[in-house]
Homo-oligomer: A and B are copies of this chain.
Amino acid sequence: MHRFSKKVSMTVVKRLPKYYQYLSDLQLNDIEKISSRELASLMGLTASQIRQDLNSFGGYGQQGYGYNVGELREAIKEILGLDSEYNCIIIGGGNMGHAIANYERFKREGVILKGVFDVNPLTVGTVIADVVVKHMDEIDEFIKNNEIDIAILCVPREVGQIVATQITDLGVKGILNFSPLDLDVPSDVVVENVNITDSLFTLTYLLGE
């Protein structure tokens, strides 16, 4: 649960991972403080946008000093919910599932891969990122016995909705959806779509502009 109660706009929310990334980089480079102007120039924003964004979470800067990189990073980490751990499963152990399973970053930020599921007999039983791929027949039992917070959906479009309904019925509350369809889920479930084809089409559009 977040420590602030104000409703924050999705535009700001969408920028938070970027703040987190830049602040993590700064910390790695042993930079301890940064002004809103410097941070703005790094991130391609204006200083006033930076101040406004961070104010909407309570404001972490000090007049004439700027931001303490470590503190601001910790604050944003907490706001992003990355001070907690999340148990996750990947559904669909094809190329995309494989790619995601091997994202070092996920584990480093506390998103722990507990299981990978597939229906392909050639994939079931193989090992992906130290996890043995299980058959979808076992998923109900598995979700019931492990506290799964996040499911990463890498299944074909045709079965996306069926799988989403199945796992949300079992109590999964978060879906990172790589299947190219809009999922219909209960209102207490959050879905974040990564639609690669849509991104490609935005690019072909922009190329013609």
Contacts and interface: CB of A to CB of B under 8 A. Distances in A.
A13 B173 contact: no
Contacts of A182: 18, 43-44
Given A95-B98, A99-B95, A200-B192, A207 B105 contact: no
A189 to B, nearest CB: 10
A204 B111 contact: yes
Contacts of A14: 198, 202
Interface string A77-96: 00111101010000000111
In the complex, the count of this chain's copies comes to: 2
Nearest to A7: B209
A106 interface: yes
Interface string A175-205: 1100010100000001011111111111111
Q: Which residue, of A21, A79, A174, has the highest number of chain B Cβ atoms within 10 A? A: A21
Interface of A: 1-2, 13-14, 16-18, 20-21, 43-44, 79-82, 84, 86, 94-96, 98-100, 102-103, 105-106, 109, 111, 149-150, 173-176, 180, 182, 190, 192-209
